[in-house]
């Protein structure tokens, strides 16, 4: 896709000028363009082909700390003017909020590195279809018991986004995101099981081979056949790397500004206190080239920077945008829009070593439901996985629930393995917890 950066800059400038003319004391605007497609092959036929090409503008105005927002997918001059006028009109009805407003001008990014985030994938739809069918075929070839499929999907997307505000900031950069995924179903007697695998990257050449993705999906699926139930017990639990990011994601949510100023977090007033074992640190590294979570500035134009969220188990920083920072009497941490590459420290132990260290316990491979109370930290989710004895996987298990309290769970992390999963904004290896309650039959 050929991006017209000058057009985006012009639209942003016109919107900000219009907002000022209508009485806005402050304003910011986001303008974006994106394009891409995805194809899904199922049972060796084309299931879907989807193309998308979109654009949009969102503007927020502040009239003496009264806030109004509006958006439009029409970027014509008339539509831009109408959208700005609607935002100003909405602001006139809003209550004054002393914490509302743009980010502190001193915190805005003045320069930033090229993070190498834009790598278009020149694959044609025809070749993408062939790749998806190749991926699914590899999965189904793993075992004759794989007799159905939810399909294999190949996706390619790229876009450009611009943020500008009335304090003189304007920042823009393109990015891309590509993926290959596969999910298949295996049956043995009356039992049916499904599982999946995927690869994702900004760079097409860094995706795993489609055949490997399919084979892994097929293997994971077949391994779940013969699942048993467990009786209720307390036992050590391993969260593999693909699920561990969610475990630490709950911590991020609990130390984020919105939860804190609303007093709806189980980690209220935890700054400077121990929230994880001493051997764990979590560092935000927003400038890793090509990484999926990288960004030169946040959604408010605040410069992103490397800093510790947790250092040697001690909570060093909250996760704050400008509004929540003001509500808490603090400064933005450059996290408007979320975190950027949280890297969890790990040991030298690999996954096999982690199983050996656990000796006997539960390896969780799937979590279901949303049973996490961010106010109390209570955690209870449906799960499936494998029972492990003497460091060796014995058999698959299903129809169980794992439960605990996040505060205690974090304190009982025994080891983080070195099998770090890079496919998201939180980078963690597999995590061994000392004990959780497993509820079964």
The alpha carbon torsion through 307, 310, 316, 321 (nearest 10 deg) reads 60
pLDDT of the residue at 371: 87
Mean pLDDT of the region 107-125 = 95
Q: Are strands 426-427 and 413-416 parallel, antiparallel or unpaired?
A: unpaired
Structure tokens belonging to residue 131: 């790749």
Q: Specify whether the CB–CB gap between 160 and 192 falls below 8 A.
A: no
Q: Summarize pLDDT for 180-214 with one digit per residue, the tens.
A: 999 999 999 999 999 999 999 999 999 999 999 99
**Residue environment code for 181-209, b if the CB has 16+ CB neighbours within 10 A, otherwise e:** bbbbbbeeeeeebbbbbbbbbbeeeebee
pLDDT of the residue at 29: 98
Mean pLDDT of the region 246-259 = 96
324 contacts: CB under 8 Å, gap ≥ 6: 256, 257, 258, 260, 261
Mean pLDDT of the region 357-383 = 95
Q: Summarize pLDDT for 283-305 with one digit per residue, the tens.
A: 999 999 999 999 999 999 999 99
Structure tokens belonging to residue 212: 């490997």
Instruction: Reply yes or no on whether the pLDDT at 369 is more than 90.
Output: no
280 contacts: CB under 8 Å, gap ≥ 6: 310, 312, 313, 344, 345, 413, 416
Mean pLDDT of the chain: 96
Q: Which DSSP symbol is given to 198?
A: E
Instruction: Reply yes or no on whether the pLDDT at 426 is more than 90.
Output: yes
Give just the sign of the alpha carbon dihedral 137, 142, 145, 149: negative
Q: Summarize pLDDT for 63-98 with one digit per residue, the tens.
A: 999 999 999 999 999 999 999 999 999 999 999 999
Return the HEC string of 54-92.
Answer: EEEEEEEEEECCEEEEEEECCCCHHHHHHHHHHHHHHHH
How many CB atoms sit inside 10 A of residue 75's CB? 19
Instruction: Reply yes or no on whether the pLDDT at 441 is more than 80.
Output: no
pLDDT of the residue at 3: 78
70 φ, ψ (degrees, to nearest 5):
-155, 160
Q: Which DSSP symbol is given to 15?
A: H
pLDDT of the residue at 7: 94
DSSP assignment of 157-187 equals EEEEEEEEETTS-EEEEEEEEEEEEEEEEEE
Taking alpha carbons only, the member of 17, 16, 20, 18 closest to residue 28 is 16
- Cα 274 to Cα 245: distance, rounded to the nearest angstrom: 20
439 contacts: CB under 8 Å, gap ≥ 6: 232, 400, 401, 402, 403
DSSP assignment of 372-414 equals B-TTT-EEEEEEEEEEEETTEEEEEEEEEEEEEEHHHHHHTEE
Residue 13 in 3-state DSSP?
A: helix
- CATH 3.40.640.10 for domain 5-223: no
pLDDT of the residue at 1: 61
How many CB atoms sit inside 10 A of residue 343's CB? 20
Q: Are strands 191-201 and 170-188 parallel, antiparallel or unpaired?
A: antiparallel
Domain with CATH 3.30.2290.10 in the chain: 5-223
Instruction: Reply yes or no on whether the pLDDT at 2 is more than 80.
Output: no
pLDDT of the residue at 264: 96
Q: Summarize pLDDT for 6-60 with one digit per residue, the tens.
A: 999 999 999 999 999 999 999 999 999 999 999 999 999 999 999 999 999 999 9
124 contacts: CB under 8 Å, gap ≥ 6: none
């Amino acid at each position: 896709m050929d991006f017209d950066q000058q057009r985006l800059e012009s639209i942003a400038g016109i919107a900000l000028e219009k907002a000022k003319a209508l009485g806005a004391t402050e304003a910011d605007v986001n303008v974006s363009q994106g394009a891409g497609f995805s194809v899904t092959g199922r049972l060796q036929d084309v299931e879907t082909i989807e193309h998308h090409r979109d654009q949009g503008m969102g503007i927020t105005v502040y009239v003496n700390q009264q806030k109004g927002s509006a958006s439009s997918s029409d970027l014509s001059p008339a539509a831009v003017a109408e959208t700005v006028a609607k935002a100003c009109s909405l602001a006139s009805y809003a209550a004054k909020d002393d914490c509302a407003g743009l980010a502190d001008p001193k915190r805005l990014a003045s320069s930033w590195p090229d993070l190498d985030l834009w790598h278009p994938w020149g694959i044609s739809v025809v070749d993408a279809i062939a790749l998806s069918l190749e991926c699914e075929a590899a999965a189904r070839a793993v075992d004759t018991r794989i007799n159905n499929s939810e399909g294999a999907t190949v996706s390619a997307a790229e876009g450009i986004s611009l943020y500008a505000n009335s304090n003189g900031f304007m920042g823009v950069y393109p990015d891309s995101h590509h993926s290959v995924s596969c999910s298949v179903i295996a049956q043995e007697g009356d039992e049916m099981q499904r599982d999946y695998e995927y690869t994702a990257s900004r760079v097409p050449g860094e995706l795993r081979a489609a055949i490997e993705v399919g084979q892994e999906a097929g293997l994971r699926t077949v391994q779940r056949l013969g699942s048993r139930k467990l009786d209720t017990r307390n036992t050590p639990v391993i969260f593999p790397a693909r699920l561990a990011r969610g475990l630490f994601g709950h911590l991020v949510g609990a130390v984020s500004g919105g939860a804190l100023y609303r007093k709806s977090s189980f980690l209220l007033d935890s700054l400077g206190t121990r929230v994880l074992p001493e051997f764990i640190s979590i560092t935000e590294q927003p400038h890793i080239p090509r990484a999926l979570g990288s960004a030169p500035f946040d959604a408010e134009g605040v410069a992103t920077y490397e800093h510790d969220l947790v250092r040697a188990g001690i909570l060093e920083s909250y996760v704050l945008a400008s509004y929540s920072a003001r509500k808490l009497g603090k400064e933005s941490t450059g996290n408007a829009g979320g975190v950027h590459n949280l890297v969890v420290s790990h040991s030298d132990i690999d996954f096999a070593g982690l199983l050996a260290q656990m000796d006997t316990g539960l390896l969780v491979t799937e979590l279901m439901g949303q049973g996490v109370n961010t106010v109390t930290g209570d955690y209870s989710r449906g799960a499936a996985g494998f029972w492990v004895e003497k460091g060796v996987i014995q058999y698959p298990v299903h129809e169980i629930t794992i439960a605990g309290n996040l505060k205690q769970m974090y304190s009982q992390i025994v080891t983080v393995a070195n099998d770090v999963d890079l496919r998201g904004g939180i980078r963690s290896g597999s995590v061994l917890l000392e004990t959780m309650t497993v509820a079964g039959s």
